C-alpha cells in the first residue's frame, strides 16, 4: 500500500517538532538534529520536516511505496506523465537508503516516488529538487546526483 509523502522545510526544528507532535498527537518516528519524520497511519502519510537552509515551506510532495512492484508501477505513471524526471538509485537521503525518481508537475512542484531499503546515519547530499527545477526549464543535461544516475 502506498503512502503519501510531504516534506516541509522549517526555520526552527524544535518548535516545528513541538507543533507537529501536537497536531498529529504523537512524537516523531525519526528525530535528528536537523530532521524529523512522522510515519502516520491515520491519515496514511510520511510527513517530514528539515532545517537545512532551504526556504521555509513545502519542499516537495511524494509517494512512498512498499515494494519493487509498486515502485515499477509508479515509475510507469511518471513516464506517462511526460515531465522532466530524475532517477536516483541506491541513494542516501533524509537518513534513509532509497531508490527514487523525481518529476516536476506543470507548476514546477517536485514530486518524489521512492522505496526505502533501510536507515542511514547521515542525511545525504542529493540536490534532486534543485536539479529537477533546472530540468523543468530545460537547463539540465548532466547527472542528477552524486550517485551517477542520469537525468
Does the global pTM surpass 0.85?
Answer: no
According to CATH, the superfamily of the domain at 3-136 is 2,3-Dihydroxybiphenyl 1,2-Dioxygenase, domain 1 (3.10.180.10)
pLDDT given for residue 54 in this prediction = 86
Q: What is the mean pLDDT of each run of 10 residues along the chain (151 residues)?
A: 94 95 94 97 94 91 94 90 86 90 83 92 74 52 32 32
pLDDT given for residue 35 in this prediction = 97
Could you tell me the end-to-end alpha-carbon distance of the chain, in angstroms, rounded to an integer?
A: 28
Provide the 8-state DSSP code for 130: H
The C-alpha atoms of residue 133 and residue 110 are separated, in whole angstroms, by: 8
140: burial class by Cβ within 10 Å (0-12, 13-18, 19+)? middle
Count, residues in the chain? 151
If you compute the radius of gyration of the chain from its CA atoms, what whole number of angstroms results?
Answer: 15
Are 99 and 115 in contact, with CB atoms under 8 Å apart? yes
pLDDT given for residue 108 in this prediction = 80
pLDDT given for residue 45 in this prediction = 96
Amino acid at each position: 500500500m502506498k503512502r503519501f509523502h510531504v516534506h516541509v522545510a522549517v526555520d526552527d526544528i524544535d518548535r516545528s517538532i513541538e507543533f507537529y507532535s501536537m497536531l498529529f498527537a504523537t512524537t516523531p518516528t525519526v528525530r535528528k538534529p536537523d530532521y524529523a519524520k512522522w510515519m502516520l497511519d491515520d491519515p496514511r502519510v510520511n510527513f517530514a520536516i528539515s532545517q537545512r537552509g532551504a526556504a521555509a515551506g513545502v519542499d516537495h510532495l511524494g509517494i512512498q511505496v512498499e515494494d519493487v512492484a509498486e515502485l515499477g508501477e509508479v515509475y510507469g505513471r511518471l513516464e506517462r506523465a511526460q515531465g522532466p524526471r530524475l532517477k536516483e538509485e541506491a541513494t542516501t537521503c533524509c537518513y534513509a537508503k532509497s531508490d527514487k525518481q523525481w518529476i516536476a508537475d506543470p507548476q514546477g512542484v517536485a514530486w518524489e516516488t521512492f522505496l526505502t531499503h533501510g536507515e542511514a546515519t547521515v542525511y545525504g547530499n542529493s540536490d534532486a529538487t534543485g536539479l529537477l527545477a533546472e530540468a523543468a526549464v530545460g537547463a539540465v543535461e548532466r547527472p542528477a546526483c552524486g550517485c551517477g544516475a542520469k537525468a
